Structure 1
Amino acid sequence: MANSEGTHQLHYLGAVDMADLVDSGHLGADPGTRSVEEQIIDHVEAAQLRSFLPSHGLGCRVVAVHVSKIGINLVDVDGQAVVDRLALHKIVQVLSFDDGFGRFNVVLVEKKSSGDVQCHLLQTASASDADHLCRQVRQAFHSAVVDSS
């Protein structure tokens, strides 16, 4: 759910590391290679099946997600403690998807200094909230690029 300031409240299900992403969009790519988005969703769902991440937000902390030109802050709604800060320049992908059970997930993919990526999983009951958060992150990127030129 987004409030009037554009802050979203979602369940934070956690984060899982991912070794690498293979971009299948280039010429000569193996036609059987899945898209980057499909690889991310597959990885997150596999982590849920192996119980590395919960599959639903029940019992998970609710966070306020603040998006700005410098990054994304995840703040615990109950204790107001910062759960995580993600620098905008380290976000390499943001996507939303329906898990098939009426829950909508947002994955923020962050590039780590090791070269690996970390997938942060958030969940909401509304597809429009998930899509709006993705649009807000994209707009923050656009705004940061325009301001730097």
Structure 2
Amino acid sequence: MQQCCEYSKLNPQCETNSNRSKFAGDTKVRFFERFSNYNSTSHEFYRSNEENVVDQIESAQLDGILPVQANDRQKVNVRVSKHGAWISRNMDSTTVDRIPLVNIVFSLAYDDGFNRYNVAMVVKARQSEPEYKCHVFQCNSLREADEFLKKIDHLFNSVVDTIERREAEECEWVDV
């Protein structure tokens, strides 16, 4: 089943504190969901979702829809908490986007081959719609891109641990 994915042209200069970023705009592209019982000979289904997302980003860059380099883009801050991601303009703190943590589908980092290190964060746009939005960030180094992903991963693990602890505390033990 093909589903549409909207790519947001966010190209930040990632930092570990505030993740100063640059904003460019939005465009729609395709994203493919995988179903375990779906058999297809289509080329897209032989590749991982991550590979397909990187392909879509690079195609959008080649078509001029997404910028290849973020030098002249407006800076934004990216903050991630247990509530989700908040993207705001660096100049006046105006909110560009708020993403609930539950809507983040996956994130990935990759080197585009020109010494630019990108992070892509794929998020569910609306629960009732089959669309995805992919925010693309550009970092100064692969280490910064990895640090960004580690923070998101750590945050998800912390939330899962908290939920598991609450469930364990609420569990009533029964002798068998």
TM class, shorter-chain normalised? 0.7 to 0.9
SS at match of 1:65: strand
Aligned equivalent of 1:57:
70
Aligned equivalent of 2:15:
2
Aligned equivalent of 1:35:
48
Taking a change above 3 Å as real, the CA distance of residues 143 and 26 of structure 1, as seen in their structure-2 partners, is: farther
Do residues 148 (structure 1) and 159 (structure 2) align?
no
Which of residues 137, 154, 161 in structure 2 aligns to 1:122?
A: 137
TM-score by length of 1: 0.85
Cα separation, 2, equivalents of 1:39 and 1:26: 20
Shift of 1:125: 1.6
Aligned equivalent of 1:70:
83
Q: RMSD of the TM alignment (CA)?
A: 2.3
Which of residues 108, 116, 127 in structure 2 aligns to 1:95?
A: 108
Percent identical pairs in the alignment equals: 29
Cα separation, 2, equivalents of 1:43 and 1:15: 13
Aligned equivalent of 1:107:
120
Do residues 80 (structure 1) and 84 (structure 2) align?
no
Taking a change above 3 Å as real, the CA distance of residues 49 and 139 of structure 1, as seen in their structure-2 partners, is: same
Deviation per residue, 1:17-67 (Å, 9 max, x gap): 344324388897759511110000001111111122111101112221111
Range that drifts further, 21-30 or 65-74: 21-30
Return the letter of the residue paired with 1:108: M
Runs of 4+ in 1 over 6 A off after TM superposition: 24-29
Which of residues 15, 22, 33 in structure 2 aligns to 1:11?
A: 22
Deviation per residue, 1:82-129 (Å, 9 max, x gap): 111111100101011111111111111011221221111111221111
TM-score by length of 2: 0.73
Which of residues 21, 31, 34 in structure 2 aligns to 1:20?
A: 31
Do residues 45 (structure 1) and 45 (structure 2) align?
no
Query: Larger Cα Rg: Structure 1 or Structure 2?
Result: 2
Aligned equivalent of 1:135:
150
Aligned equivalent of 2:3:
none
